[in-house]
Amino acid sequence: MFIGFDYGTSNCSVAHMQDGEPRLLPLENASFYLPSTLAAPTRDSVSEYLLRHYQIQPLDAVGQQLLRRAVATNREEGIDLQADDLLFGQAALDLYLAHPQDLYYVKSPKSFLGAMGLHEVQLSFFEDLVCAMMANIKRRAEQVSQQVIDDTVIGRPINFQGSGGEESNRQAENILRRAATRAGFRQIEFQFEPVAAGLEYEAGLTQQQTVLVVDIGGGTTDCSLLQMGPNWRKQKDRSGSLLAHSGQRVGGNDLDIHLAFRQLMPYFGLGSLLDSGLEMPMKQLWNPVAINDLSAQNDFYAQRNLAELKLLHKEAQEPQKLARLLQVYHDTLGYSLVRRAEEAKIALSQLPEFHSTLELATEALPLTIHYDEMLQALDGPKQQIIKLVREALTLGGCTPDVIFMTGGSARSPVLRQAVAEVLPQVPLVSGNDFGSVTAGLARWAEVCFG
């Protein structure tokens, strides 16, 4: 059996072909979409868990080194891994929200795969993370379908998040391929996510069209200008139909991060002053919510940063705000803050105001965000997305017949209006915002393996 596999920044989903149509498989209870999260007792638990409970071996000497170190550390700490000690999806998120300080939690490891300057052991650990998530999803899909899944087409962005350009892309794709191989897939192909979404849109076309696909996912925005229609359907060589691509690290997570920074971090010291009259260092307020930036997260939660935060607390004109920032450090609350911003973003697509409470260990802070405040916070990412749309059009050298928007953030009225204003005379259509990429990957898997 073959599947299309959307290993997403926010969610993962898979689909197979049934009676000529893609069918998504439920992965968590009745949901087709499994949040891209993992929770474990410790960071070192992941590598040992793969061997102990999935019987998955490392592929090379670096992986073996990582495994030996993880086993030794777990023995020293008295950790005896049980079958249910690794949690995925909503179960992982629920555990983190209940006990953020007591476990190792990671969201969206896809965001880190293109990071440059990593040591071999770090790359091997990312491979273990992805492998654990893929193996879990493969097993869930096989249980639901009652079939062994051998082959897959995995979606990938035009450009992974990373500063290395094509080197970042090669590194990220290599991690995904190695992880998928270890998870048990035999034949593995990749397809650009916006092209996959276009393939699903193309299935309903009765005539040729030039389509601009704008896929705004959790981690990246990707645009593809494509020739589509019955003449191209099911052809494996579609190079002649691919007119232009553009892609960048800006997506739904960035919207949430910018909103969290502008509207939540003032409670933790953003804009406040030191006794010297200087403003609080910006990076100390940005890094905890920059959950898609590995170096920012490492810098903030590093042991050496604790002394810096204590000094800022001592020198702050409003020390209670820095006391809250110290809570963020000790309880690893960055993900919680970004999640609250995401809730606000979703609510403000329908309401003029968002009212909630920030629950900390020592106090509850009333929170109100207005629609206009959200617009101001999101303007930077919005302008980046508009630039990507214009870049694809310039590279393609033609005007599309239709704009097909997809991805979880394509529902945002702010972003839909922004894209529509670039080409006001071109109709903008939508499909399944969360499932179009997965369905298109399944269609391409049928071309590759059927």
Question: Do 271 and 354 fall within a single domain?
Answer: yes
Please give the pLDDT value at position 411. Answer: 87
218 part of a folded domain: yes
216 part of a folded domain: yes
Question: Do 263 and 396 fall within a single domain?
Answer: no
Distance CA(253)–CA(409), nearest Å, equals: 9
Q: How far is CA 389 from CA 126, 212, 384, in A?
A: 31, 9, 9
Question: Do 158 and 288 fall within a single domain?
Answer: no
Question: Do 154 and 270 fall within a single domain?
Answer: no
Please give the pLDDT value at position 161. Answer: 77
Assign 98 to helix, strand or coil.
Answer: helix
Q: And the tokens for 384?
A: 């980046």
For residue 60, the enclosing domain spans 2-185
Residue 123's φ and ψ, nearest 5 degrees, are -60, -40
Assign 356 to helix, strand or coil.
Answer: strand
441 part of a folded domain: no
Distance CA(353)–CA(371), nearest Å, equals: 6
Please give the pLDDT value at position 144. Answer: 96
Secondary structure of 437-449 in HEC code, one letter for each residue: HHHHHHHHHHHHH
321 part of a folded domain: yes
Mean pLDDT in order along the chain per 10 residues (450 residues): 96 96 96 96 95 95 96 93 94 91 90 91 96 98 97 96 85 97 98 96 96 94 96 92 94 94 97 96 97 90 96 97 97 94 93 95 94 95 96 97 94 92 95 93 96
Please give the pLDDT value at position 155. Answer: 97
443 part of a folded domain: no
Which long-range CB contacts under 8 A does 223-228 form with residues at least 24 apart?
Answer: 223/158, 223/194, 223/247, 223/388, 223/389, 223/391, 223/392, 224/158, 224/192, 224/194, 224/195, 224/198, 224/392, 225/392, 225/393, 225/395, 225/396, 225/398, 225/400, 226/195, 226/198, 228/198, 228/201, 228/202
Q: And the tokens for 46?
A: 């992941």
Question: Do 264 and 360 fall within a single domain?
Answer: yes
Please answer whether residues 442 and 197 qualify as being in contact, where contact means their C-beta atoms are separated by less than 8 angstroms.
Answer: no
Per DSSP bridges, beta strands 187-192 and 151-156 are parallel
Please give the pLDDT value at position 394. Answer: 97
Question: Do 355 and 307 fall within a single domain?
Answer: yes
Please give the pLDDT value at position 431. Answer: 86
Q: Which residue has the tokens 């998120």?
A: 93
Question: Do 350 and 276 fall within a single domain?
Answer: yes
The distance between the two most distant Cα atoms of the chain, rounded to a whole number of Å, is 70
Please give the pLDDT value at position 131. Answer: 98
Q: How far is CA 225 from CA 35, 301, 447, in A?
A: 29, 41, 21
Question: Do 12 and 41 fall within a single domain?
Answer: yes
Q: And the tokens for 56?
A: 């998955």
Question: Do 238 and 257 fall within a single domain?
Answer: no
Tell me the β-bridge partners of 23.
16
Question: Do 287 and 359 fall within a single domain?
Answer: yes
Q: And the tokens for 81?
A: 């891994």
Count of domains observed in the chain: 3
Q: And the tokens for 347?
A: 């609510």
196 part of a folded domain: no
Please answer whether residues 171 and 161 qualify as being in contact, where contact means their C-beta atoms are separated by less than 8 angstroms.
Answer: no
Distance CA(88)–CA(288), nearest Å, equals: 22
Please give the pLDDT value at position 237. Answer: 93
Give the length of the chain: 450
Distance CA(104)–CA(79), nearest Å, equals: 13
294 part of a folded domain: yes
Number of other residues whose CB lies within 10 A of the CB of residue 183: 24
Closest to 225 (Cα-Cα) out of 422, 8, 432: 422
Question: Do 140 and 276 fall within a single domain?
Answer: no
Q: How far is CA 201 from CA 62, 83, 379, 439, in A?
A: 43, 41, 29, 10
